[in-house]
Structure 1
Amino acid sequence: MDYAELHCHSYYSFHDGASSLEELVLRAQELGYRALAVTDHDNLCGAMCFANLAASTGMKGIIGAEITVSPDKGVLFSTGRDGKAGDEVSPYHLTLLAENRTGYGNLSRLITAAHANGERNCPELPSALLQSHSEGLIALSGCSQGELSRLVEQERMEEARELVHRYLDWFGPDNYFIELQHNLVFGDTLRIRALTGLARETGAGLVATGNVHYHVRERHRLQDCLVAIKHCKSLEETHRERRPNSEFYLRERGIIEALFRECPEAVENTVKIAERCHLDLTHELSYSFPDYNAPDGHTPESYLESLCCEAAVRRYGSVTPAVRTRLDEEFRLINKYKLAGFLLLYHEVIKLGREVMIDLGLSDPSLTVEENPPGRGRGSSVSLLVGYLIGLSHIDPLTYNLSLERFLPDDVMNNVPDIDLDFPRSIREELILRTHTKWGWERAVLAGTIVTYRIRGAVRDLGKALGLPLTDIDRLAKQLSWGSAKKLESEMVKAPGFQEKMSLPGWRDLLALAPELDAFPRCMGQHPGGMVISSSPLTDIVPVQRGAIEGRYVCQWDKDSIDDAGFVKIDFLALGTLSQLQEAVEIIKERTGKRLDMSRINFDDPAVYDMLGSGDTIGIFQVESSAQMQTVTRLQPRNLTDMAHEVGAVRPGVGANNGVQEYLARRSKRKPVTYDTPLEQRALERTLGVVLFQDQVNQLAIDVAGFTASEADRMR
């Protein structure tokens, strides 16, 4: 009999699911499942990763969630897992599956509402919201912790019937199913019989699910430990919180068929429901670049060009032929990729940063953005003259003949352009809060981060769960190096006083479980400054929740999922050096009455390069490490281009291929400048035939291998 698993928790059900998405998908394929639904607790953190994984493996993936819902008054149950009635009101679980894009949007909004309604990290969805957000969703009544199961176990059958009819009315008769789970737990058989009878009375459909928490039975030991870790207790102290047996895994179809032999339609319905779900998150997100409302009489394109021409007059005295030629080329590409609104959005962020600086007394209101920009662009975006003119960068790309190919390829653009902005530490926090305020927390949110287990965290948490002496665990953790938990055995062999413990009970379990826990998600955090901005509410695409810092809001996707979704992400990076420069400029103004334009200072001051060449670089950003000191004294830079070569040379990729020694030998004329082929000359001439920069890799691919600009960037 065919089967689709519709209730499954991955390790994104933090400290509850004990298998990765990859393990679950591959095991479901081995078992011949028709489909797999991932229904993590109150989050969609793994949704994009799961969608990509399902697409790449050919496994049909269904996106869902197990939602925590605020109960109606009078629903009583115990906090344990023995199924006995208690005397306190507590939330219950409801399984929701996204049938289509509309349902996915409703699911995302419901999860957002649950996090907004409950305490932080304790989401609770008001049940009244279900009716207005039911379109496109298929609801399953939930596990033994569902409201319906509790009512049935308490023999409150009239209330149970009323509840079923309410959900049938909210979701529709074809979209609400009574969920049957048989994990060989005491009470499962009686509950299934009662729920089956209730379905017959009310006309509701039945569906079998496994309430899966790990892909194979052997992983139940790790799942027990995760639950103990979640409750900050040991295994001995968490018998009531942990699952009663090891039956919550992906089971063979023959076992499932036998368990539900008295109700075969419940198994058949799993496939019917799976066939109805046709959401492809990799193609149906419907995200678009943020709109920009240009002033009357302007389109975004014409307004951006107007801003650039005005700034060019201030910068260069006029729109010179060289400026005009470069702007024409850039606007051709900007219009081709419809990036005018995207760049104007960054301009708005820079203006917002300027307002913060003025309000904090850190900038003169009479200065233009390009005269005293609050932030500094970094990376390939500084090659854009438009960026220089609207305040995104302080580097003049015409002066240094910077190439556009990496940032704006002419043939095709595979990803959203990436512009990182460095801001002084003194303004970044306020800038983030004002960004939330300007666009609204539903349209401007911080990117999420997934904090994962490494060796020390795994040892500390598992050690406590296993009941090992805390003093020993602390001593061991302090002796371990950083890195993967998979190397715990080799690390313990070298740790004084622990080699003899490795064969003892408890310690053997630690050695076995730590590698399994390696790289598991520990919790969801917030990116220090990466913000996603959208014209339409992001809550239709990804759930949003409150951050740990007051006033911040975080989406449930990390940077990888955000990149896969094609979101516009602006990185607000804090750089202490900018705070120091800012302070220095103010001190100079107080003493001399003149304000320095940092983009127009003398970059060829010989006294500065004498200092750098002598190795006096302590406290100087980017050149204070021992490797930088050794290189700068040998290279003896005399201009900004030399400094760029020096900083670029001290990178792992250059050093791994003896690039530093080769460059220094050619620079000192101890070796001639040579090329393997004349086709390399255009890319490498400026660095004496040695690859120092990433854009040179792109240019080599174009000139030597005949790649297009986009192909070269993918290769890089």
Structure 2
Amino acid sequence: LTDTDALYGAVAFSRAAAAASLRPIFGSEITDPKTGRRAVLLAKDLSGFGELCRVISERRLDPDFSLADRLSHLSRRVLLLCPDAALLTRVVAVRGRGDVYAELTRFPGSETPLRRLLETARHLRVPVAATNRVFFRDAKDWSVHRLLAAIRTNTTVHTLPQGAVEPPSAWLKPPRQMARLFEDIPGAVSNTRAIAEQCDVRLPLGEVRLPRFPGPPGETQDALLTRRAWAGLRRLYRRVPPEAAERLREELRIIETLAFAPYFLVVWDIVREAKARGIPTVGRGSAANSLVCRALGITEVDPLRHRLYFERFLNPERTDYPDIDLDFPWNRRDEMLDYVFERYGREHVALISSHIHFRGRSVLREVGKALGLPLPEIDAFVKRLPSHAEVARLDELRTTIPECRPLPLEDEPYRSMAALGRRIDGFP
């Protein structure tokens, strides 16, 4: 799977491959923002996957990113498939021929550049590999690909800019058809198997890797958390009640059993720094059920007084992990993010990526715009639907919701709008 300048589908792809007992090959098609040239990078192992992530970050963040310069300094943990003769020549001159392939693709109008690339590869003694550049699964899915391109470029399917949509041949062809397509170029197809055999990346999904809090030398994370929690509890009470002491011991025991002490220490450190800077903050959610969180100053709610159960926050009988939400003022949030990056290192900190998916009315609205329907017509159609409407159940809605009965689902263009909407419902 090679997303363009991204790895958005890597996790879902990994899980799907595991469910089908297949070995996934992770990669990305990296583009040059200035020249439009592209190259496919494939990770050979987990270290290569990490390097691939770094290349993508550079591509996204560096306004002066040069594809040719970056490819010339790739490690041997990454395989390179290069479809451009000039780019291939430059990369080989600097990096050498190792782990480099000339990427051959065939579609209408590609024969001249393909022959030029083939001649360059033979001159440089670089192996060739036949690829398919898949953008949709079946040939019949081209209409959906074209629709998504129109949505992405904020145009219609009739006014797509040049280069925004791939040819109808960009579907997942079976092995026999690929073999026939490249039967005049020996090794082009068989080399793809050699490439696949070199790629073995197993993403450690589900493995929790908690950060280690940088505490005093010689003191364990559990000991440090225990010391901080008891110190905080004594600040809360002149004389610690027996029930509070017992509750704290039990919570600390569970935290130690689950090896979550580093997590609590990191959150405590962030809260402590915010308070030192005069930045208002408070922990919310089920963390308020924890006396340890209150003793550390993460939350302000007394779980004993309000009879809150710690097990609703952290339970050794469940596989849930602690989740402490911290709120900061919008105008000082970035200041705290900078602190976390500096304190723990940018290589150890990441922001959560939220993916929005097409759902219900939003699907039909976007499809209608891509088909070129006037906005008043789209609004009149969509507003009859309930907010929870499912595109796959439009016919059913007409029989159960009076407002939906006048929907002209049998008439064009609404029939096509509904049919295409069903095809992309749930897409990111």
CA contact (8 A) 1:165 1:202 kept: yes
For residues 654-665 of structure 1, the aligned pairs below 5 Å read none
1:507 has 2:414 as partner: yes
1:344 has 2:344 as partner: no
* 1:417 CA displacement: 1.9
Q: Compute the TM-score of the two structures, normalised by the length of structure 2.
A: 0.88
CA contact (8 A) 1:214 1:249 kept: yes
For residues 546-565 of structure 1, the aligned pairs below 5 Å read none
For residues 670-681 of structure 1, the aligned pairs below 5 Å read none
Give, in whole Å, the separation in 2 of the partners of 1:310 and 1:405: 23
Secondary structure in 1 aligned to 2:142? helix
Q: CA RMSD in A?
A: 2.9
Q: Figure out how many residues of one structure are paired with residues of the other and give that number.
A: 422
- Deviation per CA, 1:435-486, whole angstroms, max 9, x where unpaired? 2334245544431111111232222222222222332123222222223332
Which amino acid in 2 is paired with 1:467?
G
Give, in whole Å, the separation in 2 of the partners of 1:264 and 1:286: 43
Given candidates 308, 318, 326, the residue that maps to 2:229 is 308
1:431 has 2:333 as partner: yes
* 1:405 CA displacement: 4.3
Aligned match of 2:381: 476
Give, in whole Å, the separation in 2 of the partners of 1:500 and 1:428: 46
Give the direction of change, closer, same or farther, for the CA distance of 1:296–1:257 in structure 2 (3 Å limit). closer
* 1:490 CA displacement: 5.0
Aligned match of 1:180: 104
For residues 159-174 of structure 1, the aligned pairs below 5 Å read 160=86, 163-168=87-92, 172-174=96-98
Aligned match of 1:446: 351
Q: Compute the TM-score of the two structures, normalised by the length of structure 1.
A: 0.54
CA contact (8 A) 1:52 1:282 kept: no
Q: What are the ranges of 5 or more consecutive residues in structure 1 without an aligned counterpart?
A: 1-37, 72-89, 149-159, 363-373, 522-716
Secondary structure in 1 aligned to 2:7? coil
Give the direction of change, closer, same or farther, for the CA distance of 1:169–1:403 in structure 2 (3 Å limit). farther
CA contact (8 A) 2:408 2:414 kept: no
Secondary structure in 2 aligned to 1:139? strand
Give, in whole Å, the separation in 1 of the partners of 2:134 and 2:398: 34
Q: What are the ranges of 5 or more consecutive residues in structure 2 without an aligned counterpart?
A: none
Aligned match of 2:82: 141
Give the % identical residues: 27
* 1:230 CA displacement: 1.9
Give the direction of change, closer, same or farther, for the CA distance of 1:334–1:495 in structure 2 (3 Å limit). closer
Give, in whole Å, the separation in 2 of the partners of 1:259 and 1:61: 24
For residues 324-339 of structure 1, the aligned pairs below 5 Å read 324-339=245-260
Secondary structure in 2 aligned to 1:334? helix
Which amino acid in 1 is paired with 2:9?
G
For residues 291-440 of structure 1, the aligned pairs below 5 Å read 291-295=212-216, 298-355=219-276, 358=278, 374-379=281-286, 381-399=287-305, 402-405=308-311, 407-410=313-316, 414-421=319-326, 423=327, 427-440=329-342
For residues 488-567 of structure 1, the aligned pairs below 5 Å read 488-490=394-396, 499-500=407-408, 502-504=410-412, 506-521=413-428
* 1:353 CA displacement: 3.4
Give, in whole Å, the separation in 2 of the partners of 1:377 and 1:480: 36
CA contact (8 A) 1:67 1:125 kept: no
Aligned match of 2:172: 250
Greater CA deviation, 427-436 or 262-271? Answer: 427-436
Give the direction of change, closer, same or farther, for the CA distance of 1:170–1:382 in structure 2 (3 Å limit). farther
CA contact (8 A) 1:459 1:510 kept: yes
Secondary structure in 1 aligned to 2:354? strand
Which amino acid in 1 is paired with 2:232?
A
Aligned match of 1:462: 367
Give, in whole Å, the separation in 1 of the partners of 2:46 and 2:189: 26
Give the direction of change, closer, same or farther, for the CA distance of 1:309–1:469 in structure 2 (3 Å limit). closer
Aligned match of 2:9: 46
Secondary structure in 2 aligned to 1:135? coil
More relative contact order in 1 or in 2 (CA 8 Å, sep 6+)?
Answer: 1
Which amino acid in 1 is paired with 2:196?
A
Give, in whole Å, the separation in 2 of the partners of 1:474 and 1:467: 13
Given candidates 66, 69, 79, the residue that maps to 2:32 is 69
Give the direction of change, closer, same or farther, for the CA distance of 1:245–1:492 in structure 2 (3 Å limit). farther
Secondary structure in 1 aligned to 2:332? helix
Give, in whole Å, the separation in 2 of the partners of 1:335 and 1:255: 58
CA contact (8 A) 1:387 1:393 kept: yes
Give the direction of change, closer, same or farther, for the CA distance of 1:337–1:428 in structure 2 (3 Å limit). farther
Aligned match of 1:290: 211
CA contact (8 A) 1:177 1:206 kept: yes
CA contact (8 A) 1:39 1:65 kept: yes
Give, in whole Å, the separation in 1 of the partners of 2:265 and 2:166: 57
Give, in whole Å, the separation in 2 of the partners of 1:167 and 1:286: 37
Aligned match of 2:48: 103
Aligned match of 2:183: 261
Aligned match of 1:195: 117
- Deviation per CA, 1:302-347, whole angstroms, max 9, x where unpaired? 3322222222222222345444433333333333333222111111
* 1:400 CA displacement: 5.5
Give the direction of change, closer, same or farther, for the CA distance of 1:315–1:273 in structure 2 (3 Å limit). same
- Deviation per CA, 1:119-168, whole angstroms, max 9, x where unpaired? xxxx95553233334331111114xxxx43xxxxxxxxxxx3xx434323
Given candidates 51, 59, 70, the residue that maps to 1:129 is 70
Which amino acid in 2 is paired with 1:514?
G
Give, in whole Å, the separation in 2 of the partners of 1:242 and 1:131: 28
CA contact (8 A) 2:76 2:98 kept: no
Give the direction of change, closer, same or farther, for the CA distance of 1:406–1:434 in structure 2 (3 Å limit). closer
- Deviation per CA, 1:48-85, whole angstroms, max 9, x where unpaired? 121122112212211111111245xxxxxxxxxxxxxx
Give, in whole Å, the separation in 2 of the partners of 1:408 and 1:437: 27
Given candidates 122, 127, 147, the residue that maps to 1:205 is 127
CA contact (8 A) 1:489 1:511 kept: no
Give, in whole Å, the separation in 1 of the partners of 2:404 and 2:241: 71
1:217 has 2:139 as partner: yes
Secondary structure in 2 aligned to 1:246? coil
